[in-house]
A and B are shown apart, each in its own frame.
Chain A
C-alpha cells in the first residue's frame, strides 16, 4: 500500500508555499510567523512519507525563519520521520490502560515471534513498529493502529493476522 511518492524538491516547495498561504489567509494578518510550520510538515509527510532534510532551507526561506528553527521543530515532534517508514506502520499502544490489559505481553510477543521492535522497520521493508502512548481507545484495550486503522481488544492471534495481512499486502 505505497501511497507516497518519492521526494521531489519542486513539489515540496509548492506544498510549503501553499501551506504558508493557507495560514495567512485564515488568520488574516502578516504577524503569524511560522504558524503554518506543523501543517506544512504534515502535508510533506502525507505526500512523501517523510520530511527530507532538503526541505529545511526551503521552509526557512518561505517562512522567513532560520534553518535551525525549522530543524528544532521537526526534531521535537515524534511524528515527523527523517526517512521513509516501511510500507505499513503498526502503532502499538503502550500507555497505562493498555498495560492493564496486557500490551506489554503483546510487545514481547511481537519481539519474540515476529522479530519486531519499536522504532525499527522489518528487514523486508514491510512493516515499521512504533510505540504510541494512547489513541483514546482505552475502553477497548489493548489497542493498535495498522496504517491508522484502529484495532481494539487486541490479542496475539489478531496480531498474527494483522502482520500476515501487511506482509501479503492484503487490505
Chain B
C-alpha cells in the first residue's frame, strides 16, 4: 500500500505560524505509530486564518484540518485524521470550503494543490499545456492571443500586456530580454510571493511564452531580498525545468519539437522599494543605483542593456499559460468593463479572514472586506481601508461600495494597484498614516526628482505642524500645494502617488488632523 500523502504548507506565511514544527511532529507521530505517511510541502491555499492548514489525501478527496498547532498533532492521529476522521479542527473536503469554492482561480489554480518542487506534478495538473500550444503558433499569433485576452499589467499600472509584447516583438534587435518583476514591495500584497512559493513553474512557463512571442532568448526574474523562500523556490524550479527540457537551447525539447532557445535566472534585490518601478529595476539589474529612467524610450524599445525588453509583473506573466491553453477569448469572458479576467486580491491588516482571493473583476470593497473578510479582527468598528499598497488611497466606510476594477477605483479617487487591501479599525490615527506616507516616500525615494526627494521630508514636517496646531489652514493648503507639485513633478509613481494616501486621509479623515500632539506621539 502506498503511503498516505499529507500536505503541510511550506509557504513562508504558514511557516511563520509554525508549519515546520507541525510537519516534524506529524513525522514523529507517524513513526511512533508505525504508519506510512509522506509529507508534501505545498503552497498555501491563501486562507491564512486557517494556517497551518493540514490536508490529508483520502479516497474521498483531500480533507482539511486547521489551524493545526504542533500540540494538536497527536490528538489528530488519535481521531484517525489519516482517514478523514472527525475532529474539532476538521474543516471538511478542502474544495468545499466556501471561501475557496467561491473563487475563480485561474492563475492560482494549482497553488496549494501541487508540490511546488515537482515538475511532474505541475505537468500532471495542466502545466506546460499553454507552452505546448504556443509551440504550434507563430510569434504573432501568441501576441494576438494575449491581446485578445484583454490582460492588463497586474503590477498596478494596468497597461495592456499584449500591446507591450507586440511592441517588443516589432522592435528591431538581435538580442531581446524578458524580465519578470517580482519586487513585490507594497504592504498588503503577497500574491507574487505565494505564487513563486506555491507554483513557480507557471511563472517560468509564462516567461518562456513571452520569449517565444517576442524573440527573446534570455530572461531574468528580479525577486526582492525580503522573500528568501520565494528565491529558493524559483531557483529550484528553474533547475528542474532546465533538466526536464523546458529551458535551454531548445524550449520544445521536452515535447520533442524544434523551437528557439530561452533560459532564465533569478536576481535578488537589495531592499529598495523603488526597484519595483520598472526602469529602476532595469538599472538595478545593470548593477547601478536603482534610479528611475525618464520615459521615453520605453523599455519595450530600449530596456535592459538598451535592448528591447518585455518587463511584466509576476501575475501578468503567470496569466499567459492559461490564456494560451484556453484562448484569449475564454479569459476575457471573466471580468467587467475594461478590466478583463481575474484579479488575485489580497486582504490584510486588521481583518478576521485575511488571505488571497482570486476573483473576476467586479466585486466591491465591501463584499471583500465585510462578507469575505468578516470585518475587523479586533471586532471594533472599521474606520479605513487602504487599497493598492502604500501609494493607494484610504477609503472611509461610506466608499466601500466601490467595485475593485481599474476604472471604478480611479473614479473614486484611488487605485487598484497590485490588489492589496489593508483594513484598519477605529483605533487608527489617520494623521499618523498620512505622515507615514510621506516618511516612507522619503526613505525609499531614489533621489532623482526633487519634489519626491525633498518634498516628502517637508510634507512630513508640515503634517507635524498641522497636528501641533501651527497655522492649520495655511499648512493644510501648503500640503495640498506640495502634493500637486509631487504629482506633476515626479517621474514615477513613488513621488507621483504618495499624495494619494496623504490627500485621501486629509479629505476623508480631516478630524484626525485636529487632535492634540500626544495622541500622534503615542501612535508612532
Partner-B contacts on A (CB < 8 A): 26-29, 31-39, 41-42, 63, 65, 69, 72-73, 76-80, 95-101, 104, 132-141, 143, 148-153
B350 and A100 within 8 A (CB): yes
- A51 CB → nearest B CB, Å: 11
Selected contact of A140 from candidates B13, B285, B524, CB within 8 Å: B13
A138 and B288 within 8 A (CB): no
- A98 CB → nearest B CB, Å: 7
Contacts of B377 in A (CB 8 A): 101
Q: Give complex CA distance A29, B307 in Å.
A: 13
Q: Give complex CA distance A42, B223 in Å.
A: 13
The residue in A79, A100, A151 that gathers the most chain B C-beta atoms within 10 A of its C-beta is A100
Q: Give complex CA distance A42, B271 in Å.
A: 11
A31 and B436 within 8 A (CB): no
User: Which residue on chain B has the smallest CB distance to residue A78?
Assistant: B271
Is the C-beta of B43 less than 8 angstroms from some C-beta in chain A? no
Known contacts being A33-B305, A133-B440, A138-B187, is A26 close to B422, with CB within 8 Å? Answer: no
Selected contact of A100 from candidates B12, B265, B288, B422, CB within 8 Å: B422
B287 and A37 within 8 A (CB): yes
- B335-383 contacts to A (CB < 8 Å): 346-350, 354-356, 377
Selected contact of B424 from candidates A73, A100, A138, CB within 8 Å: A100
Which of B225-233, B472-480, B487-495 forms contacts with chain A? B225-233
8 nearest A-B pairs in the assembled complex, by CB-CB distance: A34-B287, A37-B287, A95-B187, A152-B16, A138-B348, A77-B270, A78-B271, A100-B349
- B230 CB → nearest A CB, Å: 8
Known contacts being A101-B349, A104-B523, is A140 close to B354, with CB within 8 Å? Answer: yes
A73 and B390 within 8 A (CB): no
Residue count of chain B within 8 Å CB distance of chain A = 67
Which of B31-39, B100-108, B146-154, B188-196 forms contacts with chain A? B188-196
Selected contact of B270 from candidates A63, A80, A96, A148, CB within 8 Å: A80
Selected contact of B48 from candidates A73, A78, A104, A140, CB within 8 Å: A140
- B324 CB → nearest A CB, Å: 26
Known contacts being A35-B287, A138-B420, is A26 close to B346, with CB within 8 Å? Answer: no
Contacts of A29 in B (CB 8 A): 175
User: Which residue on chain B has the smallest CB distance to residue A130?
Assistant: B271
Partner-A contacts on B (CB < 8 A): 12-13, 15-17, 48-49, 51, 175, 184-190, 192-193, 218, 225-228, 230, 263, 265, 267-273, 284-291, 305, 346-350, 354-356, 377, 386, 390, 420, 422-425, 428, 433, 436, 440, 443-444, 446, 523-524
Contacts of B226 in A (CB 8 A): 132, 134-136
Can you show 15 pairs from A to B with CB atoms below 8 A apart?
Answer: A26-B218, A26-B265, A34-B287, A37-B287, A38-B269, A42-B268, A76-B446, A95-B187, A97-B348, A100-B428, A132-B271, A138-B187, A138-B189, A140-B16, A141-B349
Contacts of A152 in B (CB 8 A): 13, 16-17
- A65 CB → nearest B CB, Å: 8
B190 and A26 within 8 A (CB): no
Q: Give complex CA distance A137, B422 in Å.
A: 12
A148 and B348 within 8 A (CB): no
Contacts of A134 in B (CB 8 A): 185-189, 226
Selected contact of A150 from candidates B15, B269, B346, CB within 8 Å: B15
A96 and B271 within 8 A (CB): no
Contacts of A133 in B (CB 8 A): 185, 187, 273, 390, 440, 443-444
A137 and B270 within 8 A (CB): no
Q: Give complex CA distance A26, B288 in Å.
A: 19
Contacts of A138 in B (CB 8 A): 187-190, 346, 348-349, 354, 420, 422
Known contacts being A34-B287, A76-B290, is A148 close to B187, with CB within 8 Å? Answer: no
A34 and B349 within 8 A (CB): no
Q: Give complex CA distance A27, B218 in Å.
A: 7
Q: Give complex CA distance A153, B314 in Å.
A: 27
Q: Give complex CA distance A5, B268 in Å.
A: 22
- A96 CB → nearest B CB, Å: 4
Selected contact of B436 from candidates A63, A97, A99, CB within 8 Å: A99
